[in-house]
Amino acid sequence: MNYTLFAGGGRSAAIQAARDQVRLSELEVQRQLQQLILDVTNDYYLAQQAKVQVQIAEAAVANAQVTLRDATAFEQAGIGTLLDVLTAEVNLANAQQNLNQARNLEITTRRQLAQRLNVNQMVDVAIAERVEPAEKWSLSLEDSILLAYQNRVELEQQLLRRRIALSNRQLALATTRPQLSLFASGNMLDKVTDDLGPRFGYGVGLQMQLALFDGGNARASAARQEALAASAEEQYANQKDSIRLEVETAYINLKANEKNIATAQTAATQATEGLRLARLRFQAGVGTQQEVTNAEANLTQAQGNLLAAILDYNRSLAALKRAVGYPERTGLGGRQ
């Protein structure tokens, strides 16, 4: 039996390094979980956007069919031209092609979400929620940055890497210091061919060991760990700058998209009314087919812009939550 009484600080350094390594691994699991939450959220919004794009394309096809019906009726009544009918047919064909592309995109994004969720390939993921703006972000930019500094696991990981390097430095230098250990041994000797009983022996004592020369290996290892600690300090500073930029970018995008929603809602309402008026003018014989076609295109674009503004807002909010580290108990809908 041998028990080390003094190892030049190596034992405590090894224990601390092992504990920090466990914590570092736990934080890495947490970091990957947070990234997975963001990836799933973005994939969901892509599938949601593709679903609504199909609905917009279906509405565009319906509008084009109405326009073609009106143009055909006018041409048969002698108050329209064949050119108007041909133009309406081309617009309908384009709208149907856009609808086919939107349906293909919807299938692709749903399969991408299913793959991210790691569900059975036979499972068809359906998007049930309506496209609506998510909750408001109540913190200011500076408060958001401070919250990120408190919650982002990447910063704690860099501190742990520095501490592990310093512990390993202590462990390397410990090999050049005296090592003191307590030993105990026992033995039994017996010859089975005689009548004498077995003989027992034991020994206890202290043993000291000192490495006089190791070719500079310990010092070199310690210098390497010092360099790793310095690198971790530099990475910590760089990580803080990166986190700040990440929060600022997500926050600015969030506020910009919040304004875009209001603008896009107004444009969609105006485009809907514009199509109604253009169709009434055309049916009354005071408007042109081109006016109706332009109004249909404006409505489709306005609806697409509104959809993009809402989902861009939701994506920015998801990115901001990820940037601040999904804080718990903040009332912001985050999770750890």
Tell me the H-state helices in the chain: 10-77, 82-117, 141-151, 153-174, 217-284, 289-323
Beta carbons within 8 Å of 40's beta carbon, 6+ residues apart? 113, 116, 117
CATH no. for 2-181+206-323? 1.20.1600.10
22, amino acid identity: V
Q: What is the pLDDT of residue 206?
A: 87
Is pLDDT above 50 for 332? no
Q: What predicted TM-score, i.e. pTM, was given to this entire model?
A: 0.78
pLDDT tens digit sequence for 71-102: 898 888 887 788 888 988 999 999 999 999 99
pLDDT at 188 over 80: yes
Percent of the chain with pLDDT over 70: 97
pLDDT of residue 328: 56
Q: How much is the average pLDDT of 279-295?
A: 84
| pLDDT one-digit tens code per residue, 198-256 | 888 888 988 888 887 777 888 898 899 999 999 999 999 999 999 999 999 999 999 99
Identify the three-state secondary structure at position 211: coil
Cβ atoms within 10 A of the Cβ of 55, count?
15
Q: Is 329's pLDDT higher than 50?
A: no
The rounded distance, in Å, linking the Cα atoms of 315 and 44 is 10
Give the mean model confidence (pLDDT) for residues 296-308. 91
Q: Find out whether 119 and 313 touch, Cβ atoms under 8 Å.
A: no
* Domain range list for the chain: 2-181+206-323
Highest mean pLDDT: which range of 26-40, 205-219, 270-284: 26-40
H, E, C per residue of 145-160: HHHHHHHCHHHHHHHH
Higher confidence at residue 323 or residue 215? 323
> Is the distance from CB of 282 to CB of 289 less than 8 angstroms?
yes
Bridge-based pairing state of the strands 2-6 and 199-209: unpaired
Q: Is the pLDDT of residue 139 over 50?
A: yes
